[in-house]
Amino acid sequence: MEDYHKPDQQTVQALRNIATRLRINSIRATTAAGSGHPTSCCSVAEIMSVLFFHTMKYHPEDPRNPSNDRFILSKGHAAPVLYAVWAETGYLKESELLNLRKIDSILEGHPVPKQQFVDVATGSLGQGLGAACGMAYTGKYFDKASYQVYCLLGDGEMSEGSVWEAMSFASFYQLDNLVAILDINRLGQSDPTPLQHHVEKYQRRCEAFGWHAVIVDGHSVEELCKVLSQPRHQPLAIIAKTIKGKGIPAAEDKMGWHGKPIPKDMAESLIKDLQSRIISTSKRLYPAPPTEDASPVSLRNIRMPNAPSYKPGDKIATRKAYGMALAKLGRYNEHVVALDGDTKNSTFAELFKNEHPNRYVECYIAEQNMVSVAIGCAVRDRNVVFASTFATFFSRAFDQLRMAAISESNINLCGSHCGVSIGEDGPSQMGLEDLAMFRAIPTATVFYPSDGVSAEKAVELAANTKGLCFIRTSRPENNIIYNSNEDFHIGQAKVVYKTNDDHVTVVGAGVTLHEALAAAEQLKKERINIRVIDPFTIKPLDSKTIIDNARATRGRIITVEDHYYEGGLGEAVCSAVVNETGFTVHRLAVSQVPRSGKPHELLHLFGIDRDAISQAVRKVLSSSANAK
């Protein structure tokens, strides 16, 4: 520790005073709000004081500066202490803290990015460290910059598997610019945590995951200063033994206080007592400025240099077209990065890796962490991030996806192997809920390309679209149906087959669009004409094109999808036409848990192939004839 400069006594006292003020302001804010987690704030007061006023290098007046050290409050319920820190820096007015949790205040119950000093929303526990890994990976390998990443976790969230996925990722990639501080305050929400104060057990677990782990007294400013100034050669876990409710005698280390504000009368005397502990010192602490070595990045106009090179009649699976498009996009845009969960030879993300190995991140079979890392990589607009796996495996990361929307994150996700059309692998591998899942997310755009041209256009559009983008790709090879110069837009469907006298409008996507086109040829022999629509995006759906064309077919619509009935294309079309008079929607979808079989057998078994479409068209026409 020869290079450790021990802080002088004035600095130590100033840090203790800040910790006391953080406690006071956390209590004040939560008591004023009538809700919140003051005891969870009080256990981390010294940690926050040392981090923000001794260790971290940043511009307090410019919280999103790309060169600043990063901080993630994974235990998001301790938000009031984070707000108190930013009041201490002068960025927030102290009076604003009293507006905590009010409808017109930016200081919400848990951190959200409408606060400039918050990069990712937290509060769904166990997710902060994964996002911190994405930031640290970006800092070390993409930005090659000096900024450090600090993540504060609660001991309760250490029960989440996603924390250990992140621990594993950080050590594998030697993220020596990452520090996790574990607030071991012994008490969870309704019970003590499983390991309580057995800090040595946490230490052994962190070491087993490849981290350097140090136990400290989390209320000792000196110990925190010392451990945070050590040189690092691997990720560091600081296991801080703390007391929940420290500084609140009635609540210290006691059950029953989690998420409860201090009553007003009690808070007043408590604040007086805490104020009496502040020992005046001439020292005023300011954060040190960072090394300005994170260069500016522009993510505007991420474009393909030329049109797709497919020709009508070519055959390609949209999953492969995704990989080819991503590699092409990466060739002309150095900030495009790709992540995958050990499925890159199935999603074809390997085509990107082969061309741009330094911008590919293998996340292994840890989809929750992959999504969190993607969110972290996209923070402060440092990268255009694509992450891929089988569509169905995103369902285990739904909470991370939901939090990505709350985080105002711009990430692009590609789910391959959708539907029963994957064939023999069976239902555990089939994405049949993914459209419902992504449609439910407010900031999501859902692409469902049906050939190589539209898949390439979807990749380019996603790269330039805010929010979450999901691209649903298929395993079977299908014909190219679009010319390479076809123009695609979000929310704009394509009429791919029509005559002047169509009887029914059929809406299909992916493999079912090709089945619909085959059904159109079959039915033509029976002098039945159908109009076929490719929606291209399921969200937003091009309601106008569907309604205008369905009017031409007397309101008769059939939807066909390789997805369960609930939440997919059929329901999207139903909600689009619900107010139209004289419209009927007949839906074809997968009605039960499927099984193994050949793709064409499964499409037939579940009634979503060309024969089923033709039969549905005849049925719709005969019932409308009978109605007359």
Q: Which two tokens stand for residue 140?
A: 């070390």
pLDDT at 1: 44
Q: What is the pLDDT of residues 124-163, one digit of tens each?
A: 999 999 999 999 999 999 999 999 999 999 999 999 999 9
Whether the predicted pLDDT of 625 surpasses 90:
no
Residues with Cβ < 8 Å from 403, sequence gap 6 or more?
120, 121, 122, 124, 127, 375
Provide mean pLDDT across the span 567-580: 98
pLDDT at 368: 98
Whether the predicted pLDDT of 3 surpasses 60:
no
Q: What is the pLDDT of residues 251-272, one digit of tens each?
A: 999 999 999 999 999 999 999 9
Q: What is the pLDDT of residues 450-497, one digit of tens each?
A: 999 999 999 999 999 999 999 999 999 999 999 999 999 999 999 999
Provide mean pLDDT across the span 315-333: 98
Whether the predicted pLDDT of 401 surpasses 60:
yes
Provide mean pLDDT across the span 11-23: 98
Where do we find the tokens 């256009």? Answer: 457
Q: What is the pLDDT of residues 427-459, one digit of tens each?
A: 999 999 999 999 999 999 999 999 999 999 999
pLDDT at 569: 98
Residues with Cβ < 8 Å from 144, sequence gap 6 or more?
none
Burial (0-12, 13-18, 19+ Cβ within 10 Å), 217: middle
Quote the CA–CA distance of 370 and 254 in Å, as a whole number. 37
Provide mean pLDDT across the span 266-293: 97
153 DSSP β-pair partners: 182
Provide mean pLDDT across the span 305-326: 96
Threshold 0.75, pTM exceeds: yes
Q: What is the pLDDT of residues 68-91, one digit of tens each?
A: 999 999 999 999 999 999 999 999
Query: How confident is residue 5, by pLDDT bands cut at 50, 70 and 90?
Result: confident
pLDDT at 2: 47
559 DSSP β-pair partners: 507, 587
With a pLDDT cut of 90, the percent of the chain lying above it is 97
Residues with Cβ < 8 Å from 482, sequence gap 6 or more?
312, 451, 453, 454, 494
* Phi and psi at residue 609, to the nearest 5°: -100, -175
Q: What is the pLDDT of residues 229-240, one digit of tens each?
A: 999 999 999 999
Nearest to 363 by CA among 376, 379, 380: 376
Q: Which residues are catalytic?
A: 367
Q: Which two tokens stand for residue 317?
A: 């699976």
Residue 172: left (phi > 0), alpha (psi -120 to 50), or beta?
A: alpha
Q: Which two tokens stand for residue 297?
A: 């990045």
pLDDT at 626: 86
Quote the CA–CA distance of 396 and 407 in Å, as a whole number. 19
